Amino acid sequence: MDLKAKFQEMLQLLVGYIAGRVSCAELQSFAWEVIDYFTDTARGELPAEEEFERAFWYAIWQTQHLCDDEHEDEGVTRRELENALAYMKGEAEMPEECVGRRP
């Protein structure tokens, strides 16, 4: 799996979500594809970790935890995914308490 390509794909999905062109279901489908790959692949076969992954994994986990009707209705999903997008683009510094790790 090319993580840099997946990073770019996640960026585009988040932009689409914020613009109302991508659904939570599409975001979750993408997130599960990536999570499943990392949980099903032997550690020794995975690519070496890179710095950009912290914001990427944070966005993946936020997608998994917040893409539901309750959080969307409250506006939490949009707000947190806007933050994740800003972290991925380098427009905002990701706080230390934000967890972004591989599964």
Rounded distance between C-alpha atoms, residue 48 and residue 75, angstroms:
35
Whether pTM > 0.95 for this model: the answer is no
Burial of 91 (0-12, 13-18, 19+ CB in 10 A): exposed
Q: What is the pLDDT of residue 7?
A: 97
- Whole-angstrom distance between the N-terminal and C-terminal Cα of the chain? 15
Output the average pLDDT for the chain. 95
* C-alpha span between 11 and 86 (Å, rounded): 10
Degrees to nearest 5, angle at CA 33 with 30 and 36: 145
Mean pLDDT of the region 17-27:
97
Query: Is the pLDDT assigned to residue 43 strictly greater than 90?
Result: no
